[in-house]
Structure formats: C-alpha cells, structure tokens
A and B are shown apart, each in its own frame.
Chain A
Amino acid sequence: MGEVFVLGAIAGGIYGLFAVATVLVYRGSGVLNFAQGEVGTLGLFLAVWLINDHGMPWVVGALAAVVVTTAIGVLFERFVVRKMGDAPRVSVAVATVGLLLFVLSGELVRVGASPKSLPGPFSGNGWRIAGVVVSPTQALSLVVALGVGVALATLLRRTDFGLGVLAAAQDPSAAQLVGVPVNRVSAFVWGAGAGLSTVACLLVAPGLGAFAPGALGRLFLFGLAAAIVGGLTSLPGAFVGGLVVGLVEASSGRIFAESSLPGVKTLAVFILLLVTLLVRPHGLFGTRESRHG
C-alpha cells in the first residue's frame, strides 16, 4: 500500500506538472495544446545535445531547453494562435496537432529513432521509502512540482499581470475592457505551458532510462487525463488530478501484476478518463463555464 502511494506520488507530480501546463493554456486560450509533450521532448534532445555531446553542466542544458521551448510556445501563439482570432477552438487544437507532428517528425529526421538518455542533475543512490527506491531526481521532481504550484499561485494572485491572466481566462472581453493586455497574457500562457512541460520532461527523463521521439506521448496523455480529472480550469485541481492518475496507475499496476493483460495501466487511466467525462465532465474542481462553448 505504501509502495503504491510512493510510486503514485512520484508519477503524479510529473502528471501534475503536465496538467498545470495544460490548464494554463486552456484557461488563457480555451484550447488544449496537444503539442506540449512533444515540445518538451524536443527540449530533452536539446539538453542531451548540450550536456552529453558538448559537456555542459546539467543546469545550463536544462535551462537552455526550457528557454528554447518557451520561445517556441510564444512564437506559436504569436504567429498561429493569434492569427486564428475567433476561429473555433477545435481548429486551434488541430493546429497544435500540426505542431506536435512537426516537432515529432523533425526529431525523427534530425535526431533519428534510436533512443538517447539523459542523466539526472544529481548522482547518488537515493532513498528507500516503503520498499521503493526514490532517486534524487524523483525527489526533486516532487519538490519542483510543489514549488511550481506555489510560485504560480503567488504569481497569479499577487501580481497585477497574474490577476490579468485569471481575468482573461474568466472573461477575455471584460479583461480587455479593464485594460489587461490580453495578447501578452495569451503569449505568457502558451510560453509558460511549453516551458513547464519541458521541466516535467527533464525531471522524468532520468527515470525513463532511454527515450526516442514520441516516447513521452503516453506520459503527456496521462497529464491531459490529470488535467481533465482535476477540472481543466483549476490549478490546484491539476495537481490533485495528477496525484489521482498516479495512484490509479500505480495501484492498477499492483492489482493486475499477475494478469496477462498488457498495458493495464493505460487501460485503467483510459477508464478513469471516461468515467470522469461521463459522470463529472467538469472534473473535481472545475467550474462550469460556457465561454469556450
């Protein structure tokens, strides 16, 4: 039981980060950015290139990855999302599918399909908690997830710009009419979403061992599920959703450990997603808002 909880919490922190990235963009633009996971993966390959191939320190490589992917998010907002104006939100989502495939196929061409690996920021054996070995990077991922949560909450509630982000999410035209620069808000959420996804990827990569283009798609999907379970509009909900998905994944893995059914974890999360959408479409903490109808 304790083992399930530890595993679930570690995975849940990562899903929570992906989910927060998703929720930010959804609140700011009413769109799900399907490309986030793969943009984060692109950041990983950049970090691999800088750290492994050019011997830079981990922090430098990671920072570069976050900065570059954030820029990709901002540029995509500036030249695609903003151009689409009032177009149906599904159309904007399809454009993010284009970005996803663009990045994915670009990686395949430039990096190739053979897996790469990235070390963690720390070496060391980690700790044994409830029978699970927790690596330093995994511990860090939980700390970062919590830190990001607190930092975002502070930014959004304590600064004028942050309040503007919340206001634009609730009512974009009213936000514009009190003077909030909605274009800058939009650029911020797309950039922050891409950057946060990269952070999640950087923290999960050492635990994965090796990864090829597209390999983090499943984790990002679990992050999407976490965002929906949490309500898609709620930032705390995103972390709770991440934890729920992590726990469902870990416990299904344990319960069906003997089963011959492959991919039980994916199946369990799929069922969790369907049940959430059909029974409680606005999730655990979401508000019923009609704006993005």
Chain B
Amino acid sequence: MSEPVLEIEDVDAGFGASQILFGINLAVAQGEIAGVLGLNGAGKSVTMKVIAGLIPAWKGAVRLNGRDITGLAPEQRVGLGLGHVPQGRQVFPELTVEENLRLGAYTLRRRDKSRYAPSLAATWERFPKLYERRRQAAGTMSGGEQAALAVARALINEPTVVLVDEPSAGLAPLIVRDVFDTLKQVATTGVTMILVEQNVAAALQLVDTVTLLQTGTVAWHGPLAELDRSMLATRLGIGRMLGPSTAAAANKRAVKKKAVPEKKPAAKKAAPAKKVAAKKTVPQKAAATKKAAPRKRAT
C-alpha cells in the first residue's frame, strides 16, 4: 500500500493541564474521504487543531506526505499542502468573494503566481454561483453560500489534504443538506479529505473510512462497509442503550423510583418521526453507490 498522505502517530494533546487526546492514531490515503466521528468531548476538534497546528501535540507526530510537520506553524503547513474548511466557515466577511479566494491561494501565489489564474477559472467553473457574486462582500451571503465559499477557498490552493471541521455546525437543516451536496460533489473529484462531524447520518453519506473517537481515544477504525448500526452506537458511547447491558444499568438504578406519569410525548413524537423515516433510505443508497472499496488501515 502506498504511503499515507496524512498520518497522525500516537498523539497526546489537550488544553492547559487537562489532557484530551490519549494516543490518537490516524492515517489517510490518497483520494480517501476519512470521517472522524464522536460525541461532544470525544476529542474530534482537538484532533483537527493538532493536525492544523493550532495547538501543539504533547507527544507523537503529525506527518504530511511523509514529512514530519509536528513543529511547524499553521501557515507553514498550509504551504505544504494542508487545506482547511474551518468550523463555522470563517470566511472573511468584509472582503469580497474574489478577495477571499485570492487569500485562499495565498501560498499558491507565493510559490507560482501563474498557477492562480487557471485555478481561479476552475473554481468559477465548479462554483458558478460564487462567480455571480464575486464582487459581493462575503459576510452578506447566506450561510450555504458562505460554506461553498469556504470549500472553494480551501480547494483553490490545490491542497493535498483538506480538513473539513464540522460543516453542519450552526446551520439550519436545509442548509446542511446544501453543504453536504457541495462536499459530495467535491468528493467525486478525488480530493483527499478528513471530515469531522457531529451529524453522523450526514457524514456517513460521504466518507470511505470511519474513525470513531471516544473520550480521547480511537474506539474503532475501519471502512464504512464494516460499520453496522450497533457498533456505531456502542463505539460512540451511546450504545448501552441497545445492548444487553441496558438491563444491567437499569438495575443499578436506585430502587426509589416511582412510575412517571406519561406526559403527552405521543403527539410531539409523531412529527419528527416521519421526518426520520423519510430520510432513512438516503444513506443506504449513498453507501451502495460508493465505487471504490475503502481501504482498511491499521491504526
């Protein structure tokens, strides 16, 4: 198997005195869409920050194209081929769409200015809506358009790996769908991506491999095809709800319990339940239509 494009080896990290990551390993191959999933506090965003260089790794190494980048500044890593779609999109609100893109190509333009024009043209082709708005201040666009701009801004620099951090955070469900449509379209072009996401359902439509984080460690890693519902639930840390241990946990409860008068959840339940049912078929289809079999990697 070829050398991984991005590799994190045995990384510990945290904030101040509190350690959040405990020996994280992750390797991403060329063209792979790697999903990093987990509940709140599992260490997803810290992992991303360590890869980006925004917080230091206490221990371990981060390698990009086989080169150790552990000690480099974030902007140096960008120069070496790391691209970012940051959480909350973080476009530059007072700058125009085109200025945002020009900044996205900051290191590309420094390396070789002549490559910018074709890269920009390709971006306009891929995101015609952005072209229409190229003179508009980015802050005045809708959340979905800003997300598209954030993606375009990362891609225009011709990165080796793109880190996509919680693209759905803070967006209305309808826009989340838009954003994932954009990402899906990008994924078909063979870009290598690491996707961190809370919205497991949305993420599973996109990824080739899955890394499940739980309390700062890798709880499971493998190709999407090997992941089933119960394993997903278990490894995410909400799983005992489903398994036999539910009963045991319930027994542990204090005896003092009384029956709780049923409120009226039945009426409230109906509406969202329908929504879920309608969505059910989508991920299956998405998973089935994945062509390339995801490569399983040792962690």
Contacts and interface: CB of A to CB of B under 8 A. Distances in A.
Direct contact of A and B (CB under 8 A): yes
Interface of A: 157, 160, 163-164, 166-167, 170-171, 173-183, 287
B52 interface: yes
Name which of A167, A174, A175, A177 has the most chain B CB atoms within 10 A of its CB. A177
Nearest to A234: B94
A167 B92 contact: yes
Nearest to B75: A179
A91 B258 CA distance: 56
Interface string B33-66: 0000000000000000000101000000000000
Interface string B89-121: 011111100010011101101100000000000
A164 B107 CA distance: 11
B79 interface: yes
A287 B94 contact: yes
B95 A178 contact: no
Given A178-B153, A178-B157, A182-B75, A171 B92 contact: yes
B109 A160 contact: yes
Given A160-B109, A176-B54, A180-B103, A167 B86 contact: no
B221 interface: no
B52 A163 contact: no
Contact of A176 (B74, B102, B153, B157): B74
A70 to B, nearest CB: 23
A1 B79 CA distance: 58
17 contacts: A157-B99, A160-B110, A164-B103, A167-B92, A170-B94, A170-B95, A174-B91, A174-B92, A175-B92, A176-B73, A176-B74, A177-B52, A177-B86, A177-B90, A178-B153, A179-B106, A287-B94
Name which of A163, A174, A175, A181 has the most chain B CB atoms within 10 A of its CB. A174
Nearest to B52: A177
B184 to A, nearest CB: 23
B109 A166 contact: no
Interface residues of B, number: 25
Contacts of B235: none
B106 A160 contact: yes
A167 B96 CA distance: 11
Q: What's the dominant secondary structure at chain A's contact region?
A: helix
B79 A179 contact: yes
A282 to B, nearest CB: 14
B94 to A, nearest CB: 6
A86 to B, nearest CB: 11
Given A163-B103, A164-B106, A176 B75 contact: yes
Given A176-B54, A177-B84, 7 more contacts: A160-B106, A163-B95, A174-B90, A175-B92, A178-B157, A179-B75, A179-B78
B84 A178 contact: yes
Nearest to B53: A176
A170 B137 CA distance: 13
Contacts of B103: 160, 163-164, 167, 175, 178, 180
A170 B157 contact: no
A170 B74 CA distance: 17
Interface string B140-155: 0000000000000100
Which 8 pairs from chain A and chain B are nearest by CB? A179-B78, A174-B90, A179-B107, A177-B84, A179-B106, A176-B74, A179-B75, A167-B92
Contacts of B74: 176-177
Nearest to B94: A170
A178 B104 contact: yes
Contacts of B52: 177
Name which of B90, B106, B153, B157 has the most chain A CB atoms within 10 A of its CB. B106
A177 B94 contact: no
B99 A163 contact: yes
A171 B150 CA distance: 13
B85 to A, nearest CB: 9
A287 B107 CA distance: 29
Nearest to B153: A178
Interface string B142-186: 000000000001000100000000000000000000000000000
Nearest to A181: B75
Contacts of A176: 54, 73-75, 78
